[in-house]
Chain A
């Protein structure tokens, strides 16, 4: 097997044995690879895409704090689109929207809060950092299986001729479709519709100045808008619209279960979403540049696989590490990848990579925000799935209330109040509303 790795002294051939092998060059895999290589371990990262990032898509907000934890001062060099200075939340129906907006001066100061990115470019930059730290970056290589001996993972089998590589430990960072995690017998939930959301996204080109005008932004600053309500066709899901330098990322993510039950297409929901009048105004005249689709793991803590086994660790989306409430997974991927690498480095000192030694990874995760948050939101996805009124009826009622109060006609405010209360009661019995609020509070906060 060859690699175009230009390492001093390397003859261009990838060695067949490593301290560690990382499967997948996304945020989890690249954080692990970079951390290992920086500490002097010999590590190979295998990525099936032509470059790291070529297979990857997300809404596009990367959080500064966790990223800088692994790649200090990344914002000085990484390909970033806009510095996010405003985060909005919209409750939207098909024709109206209640908008909540949050801006903070902190967002604009080092170490910043978040940036919009294109994963195709951002991941590529992360991979270049890992390569510079001395890792073997092997792209265009699909890992097809794990090599196992007596139940212990000892390496990987790739699709290339002579594609077997051995290592003390394999870190699986393969993303949301856990083919290898399943093969290693570590998966705990079958790949099923209740455990994933399907997201579709479009990148729409619009001149910089228009973006800054329409979104009311300083030059170079960005907005990230999350949208819930009837606009996902009343199905449990969210929409988003993020600003890049000269494009807008717009998309929806909906629980796959409800898409299948309702025989609805994700792209039809996105098409309708783009027609919502308040959204339409933002993207008017923008020309489509790319369409993409990706799953989001929504199983949360319930579906977290075994995180470690003999000679193997699992990180990032493959380990179900996405907070189902805000779908922010890249930060958890980066942190878990880094922790997996630190575990390997600690085990290296003792020379043991069996289950017991590697269980340190789980202990570290338990102490971190990752497992705490996943546990906290354990019931969020089942809750959202079983309460469609949160995505249809309630936003609709909120919009009706806002509309009535803000419309000046010949009804007195007191009469309006009575009217609304009657309308509200007819739609939602008080007991049910209280129960929903209580359940929401328990599962979502």
Chain B
């Protein structure tokens, strides 16, 4: 994940910027030779691979939490969130019997608050202003 976390550069202490200013859209970095084109079939990229292409401005404060761990433990057999979240933010830790949350890779889609957890057991907010995902293309 090409994460940027720069203590000096926290949006909190920085004046808001006018849109229209130059952004982080990089000049095209050139196209790498693709193993597939050379005849090697490739397994589909993992979600971690996919997220590696996404730029994030990491917040130190998580913006996601589980409301009631007991519901995950006892009521929810399928652990739906581990499938419905498109960024695989949620993992079932079978030893500890709890959901762990990698909020850093959250794409802020809102699935987990809109039925992605059928028990409505996830508290999802947006990260603070300026933090979180920063699409270059979108």
Chain A contact residues, CB within 8 Å of chain B: 1-6, 12, 25, 47-58, 118-121, 123-125, 127-128, 131, 137-142, 158-160, 176-177, 179, 191-196, 198, 200, 202-203, 205-207, 246-247, 249, 256-257, 259-260, 263-267, 271, 274-275, 284-295
Residue-by-residue, is B31-60 near A (CB-CB < 8 Å gives 1, otherwise 0)?
Answer: 110101100000011010011011001000
Contact B53 A48 (CB under 8 A): no
By beta carbon, the residue of chain B nearest A129 is B20
Contact B20 A274 (CB under 8 A): no
If A50-B23, A118-B137, A131-B20 touch, whether A260 touches B116 (CB-CB below 8 Å) is yes
Contact A290 B135 (CB under 8 A): yes
Contact B18 A5 (CB under 8 A): yes
Contact B28 A205 (CB under 8 A): yes
Question: Other CB < 8 Å A-B pairs besides A54-B23, A120-B25, A274-B44, 17 of them?
Answer: A3-B15, A25-B19, A50-B11, A51-B17, A51-B23, A58-B138, A120-B136, A123-B138, A124-B23, A137-B20, A205-B28, A247-B137, A267-B47, A284-B37, A289-B137, A292-B54, A293-B109
Bound: A140/B18 CA distance, A: 10
Contact B135 A263 (CB under 8 A): no
CB-defined A-B contacts under 8 Å, sample of 12: A2-B15, A4-B21, A51-B23, A55-B132, A137-B20, A141-B129, A179-B125, A198-B84, A266-B84, A267-B86, A292-B107, A295-B114
Q: Give the Cβ gap from A376 to chain B, nearest Cβ, in Å.
A: 25
Contact A119 B138 (CB under 8 A): yes
Contact B114 A193 (CB under 8 A): yes
Q: Which of the residues A140, A159, A193, A198 comes within 8 Å of B17, measured between beta carbons?
A: A140
Q: Give the Cβ gap from A316 to chain B, nearest Cβ, in Å.
A: 15
Query: Is B130 part of the binding interface, using a Cβ–Cβ cutoff of 8 Å?
Result: yes
Query: Is B110 part of the binding interface, using a Cβ–Cβ cutoff of 8 Å?
Result: yes
Most A CB contacts (10 A, CB to CB) among B12, B110, B113, B125 go to B110
Contact A51 B109 (CB under 8 A): no
Q: Give the Cβ gap from A28 to chain B, nearest Cβ, in Å.
A: 15
Residues of B within 8 A of A193 (CB): 114-116, 118
Contact B16 A289 (CB under 8 A): no
Q: Which of the residues A124, A194, A290, A291 comes within 8 Å of B19, measured between beta carbons?
A: A124
Residues of A within 8 A of B110 (CB): 176-177, 191, 196, 295
Q: Which of the residues A12, A120, A256, A263 comes within 8 Å of B111, measured between beta carbons?
A: A256
Closest 10 pairs (CB-CB, A-B): A193-B115, A128-B20, A140-B130, A127-B19, A120-B138, A291-B50, A293-B86, A177-B110, A119-B138, A285-B37
Contact B137 A256 (CB under 8 A): no
Q: Which residues of chain B from 1 to 26 have any CB-CB distance to chain A below 8 Å in the complex?
A: 11-12, 14-21, 23, 25
If A263-B78, A263-B83 touch, whether A48 touches B15 (CB-CB below 8 Å) is no
Residues of B within 8 A of A289 (CB): 53, 136-137
Contact A292 B23 (CB under 8 A): no
Residues of A within 8 A of B51 (CB): 291
Residues of A within 8 A of B84 (CB): 198, 256, 259-260, 265-266
Residues of B within 8 A of A5 (CB): 18
Chain B contact residues, CB within 8 Å of chain A: 11-12, 14-21, 23, 25, 28, 31-32, 34, 36-37, 44-45, 47, 50-51, 53-54, 57, 78, 80, 83-84, 86-87, 107-111, 113-116, 118, 125-130, 132-138
Bound: A196/B112 CA distance, A: 12
Q: Give the Cβ gap from B39 to chain A, nearest Cβ, in Å.
A: 11
Bound: A255/B96 CA distance, A: 32
Bound: A3/B137 CA distance, A: 25
Residues of B within 8 A of A50 (CB): 11, 17, 23, 57, 130, 134
Bound: A53/B137 CA distance, A: 9
Contact A140 B44 (CB under 8 A): no
Q: Which of the residues B50, B111, B116 comes within 8 Å of A288, measured between beta carbons?
A: B50
Q: Which of the residues B19, B44, B45 comes within 8 Å of A139, measured between beta carbons?
A: B19
If A53-B138, A137-B19, A159-B128 touch, whether A291 touches B53 (CB-CB below 8 Å) is yes
Contact B18 A121 (CB under 8 A): no
Contact A140 B16 (CB under 8 A): yes
Bound: A274/B130 CA distance, A: 33
Bound: A119/B114 CA distance, A: 23
Contact A120 B115 (CB under 8 A): no
Residues of B within 8 A of A266 (CB): 84, 86
